[in-house]
Structure 1
Amino acid sequence: MTMTILGAGFSGKAIGALASERFPVYGTTRSGAKFAALERAGIRPLQFDGETISDELAAALSETTALVQSISPDAQGDGFLRLIPSLETAMPRLEWVGYLSTIGVYGDHKGAWVDETAEPTPLSNRSRERALLAENQWLEAGAAAGVPVALLRLSGIYGPGRNPFVNLDNGTARRLVKKDQVFNRIRVEDIARATLFLMDHREGGAFNVTDHMPSPSQDVVAYAAELMGVPTPPDIAFETAELSPMQRSFYGENKRVGNARIRELGFEFLYPDYLVSMQQLWKDGVWRG
């Protein structure tokens, strides 16, 4: 088994670190300055600018049996697929693909529960590209090659080094309050575990990789402040808050996303809700990363 991760960033590096305990893992990055960090995670780094496949990357792809795509799409969909003639040509040994997508594909459901059977109705351009182009492009490419493609639809990603404790520590934490607004979240370690679980089972199709407890963001910040023993930041009304267009659009989608499908296959989340997760980050002292 050999894995290649296209885009070994926060999530990709976590996947690679876990996978490298079992088999060789290649991971791409745009910057050679990030090579050392990937190597420390057990990943063999390769430079990839998203426009040209180098001889080194082509050689790694020829060995690849499991591919993880973590690079965001553009207006035309998936950039990597445009660079190769076909999956079977570029990766003759390929057995499975994991595409890291987003629960943003579901759009706004006014706080109602949704699962993988819901028709994607994304609101933002970024989610629309993933829903209508990149996800479908990968499913089509996998079907043509006879390779299962799992779409991992991720919620708000956090973990060591990226969490409310860090924001409270550096003074950037805010408690934005919008009536009845909730969000799902997912620990980066559970993304890694879910990826390898789906790979081991050669599962394809859409899977929501998210926690069990969609909650208001201000509650999570308040809980982190309680654990740290620091003052809770004041409430800021969403309607009057200074936000970028992207930040404001994030609050334009309100839904509760279920994760029953992957759990019914036997997957167990280490961090099923933010309460368990935040307690572990603080108690074990790993919140700084």
Structure 2
Amino acid sequence: MNLVIIGLGFTATYYAAHHARAFTRVTGTRRAPKTERLGRVELLPFDGAAETCDPRLLAALAAADALLVSAGPDAQGDPVLRLLAEKIAASPRLRKIVYLSTIGVYGDHGGDWIDETAAAEPANRRSQQRLAAEAGWTELAKLSPKDVYILRLSGIYGPGRNVLEKLREGTAKRLVKQGQVFNRIHVEDISRAIDACLTTPAPGGIYNITDDEPAPPQDVVLYAAQKLGVEPPPEQDFDAAPLTPMARSFYSENKRVSNRRMKDLLALDLAFPTFREGIAGLLAEGEGATH
């Protein structure tokens, strides 16, 4: 089977390297790749701002059995749909499409538990663009005989991108905002969810991809510092902390996101059900160690 990945970012690159075993050929895109291959992945250029696509990418799509879309939307909409919707819809063997979105599309729910039936009312432009892109992929699914899976991802962490590394670098903060929680997911568990969508008869639709325990961010930093055996950064009151507008915006939304549908319909057992298992696993791999 053939897999095309559009947008080889952190998650898609991890999936290609550690999973995707069902596929004999994997083609991936970056805006301007500097090499022809990344491990087993054949690299091709894809620039959403361009007016045309590399003919090799069009050929790969025509021969694809599955498509993973990790490229984000821009001010003009979803670049993949803008440039490739007709080619994707007409691809004769393509039956499975996974689109990576974000739980940010739900907006703020005051710390309540929500599932995929909750209202999606994003407040910021990034999440509004994501929700519009989701609608485009859902429409494509209605117009062609393909299963489209929209995976709404929680905050992603994994090798090289985690609180242990921030503690080592001295950039970790322990901000405290009363009642605030964040939802998280290890990149390994995202990859398992992608694989379940692409290689099993699981039904298409929207899935929250998140672990079992939304938690206050300061608790995660404290636990990681204790596991590393280092002094945690001091607690800071959120309202008084000097933060960029982007960093402050993350704290404007508060929700606890359920993963029940993911577990039931994708039959997914999490490798890292909470941040504790995730941090312990990363620590065992040497994350956060001084170099």
Normalising by structure 1, we get a TM-score of 0.94
- Name 2:27's counterpart in structure 1: 26
Task: Say whether the 8 Å CA contact 1:97–1:150 is kept in structure 2.
Answer: yes
CA spacing shift, 1:231–1:2, aligned 2, 3 Å:
same
Instruction: Please state whether the residue corresponding to 1:59 is helix, strand or coil.
Output: helix
2:154 pairs with 1:148: no
Residue 287 of structure 1 and its aligned partner are, at CA, apart by 5.7
CA distance in 2, matches of 1:22, 1:85: 25
Task: Say whether the 8 Å CA contact 1:190–1:270 is kept in structure 2.
Answer: yes
Task: Say whether the 8 Å CA contact 1:87–1:142 is kept in structure 2.
Answer: no
Instruction: Please state whether the residue corresponding to 2:242 is helix, strand or coil.
Output: coil
Instruction: Please state whether the residue corresponding to 1:194 is helix, strand or coil.
Output: helix
CA distance in 2, matches of 1:286, 1:217: 19
Unaligned 5+ segments in structure 2 are none
CA distance in 1, matches of 2:85, 2:139: 13
Instruction: Please state whether the residue corresponding to 2:38 is helix, strand or coil.
Output: helix
Task: Say whether the 8 Å CA contact 1:153–1:208 is kept in structure 2.
Answer: yes
Q: Deviations over 1:102-144 (max 9, x none)?
A: 001111011000000112111111111111x100100101211
- Name 1:274's counterpart in structure 2: 275
Q: Deviations over 1:193-243 (max 9, x none)?
A: 100101223431100000111001111111111011110001111111122
Q: Alignment RMSD, CA only? A: 1.6
- Name 2:180's counterpart in structure 1: 181
Task: Say whether the 8 Å CA contact 1:152–1:208 is kept in structure 2.
Answer: yes
Q: Deviations over 1:146-181 (max 9, x none)?
A: 111101000000000000111011111111111110
CA distance in 2, matches of 1:237, 1:89: 50
Given candidates 45, 48, 68, the residue that maps to 2:46 is 48
CA distance in 1, matches of 2:20, 2:117: 33
- The percent of aligned pairs where both chains have the same amino acid is 46
Residue 286 of structure 1 and its aligned partner are, at CA, apart by 4.8
Q: Bigger shift: 149-158 or 9-18? A: 9-18
- Name 2:84's counterpart in structure 1: 84
Unaligned 5+ segments in structure 1 are none
CA distance in 2, matches of 1:85, 1:74: 16
For 2:252, the aligned partner's letter is G
Residue 90 of structure 1 and its aligned partner are, at CA, apart by 5.2
Instruction: Please state whether the residue corresponding to 1:122 is helix, strand or coil.
Output: coil
CA distance in 2, matches of 1:212, 1:85: 35
CA spacing shift, 1:89–1:214, aligned 2, 3 Å:
closer
Instruction: Please state whether the residue corresponding to 2:43 is helix, strand or coil.
Output: strand
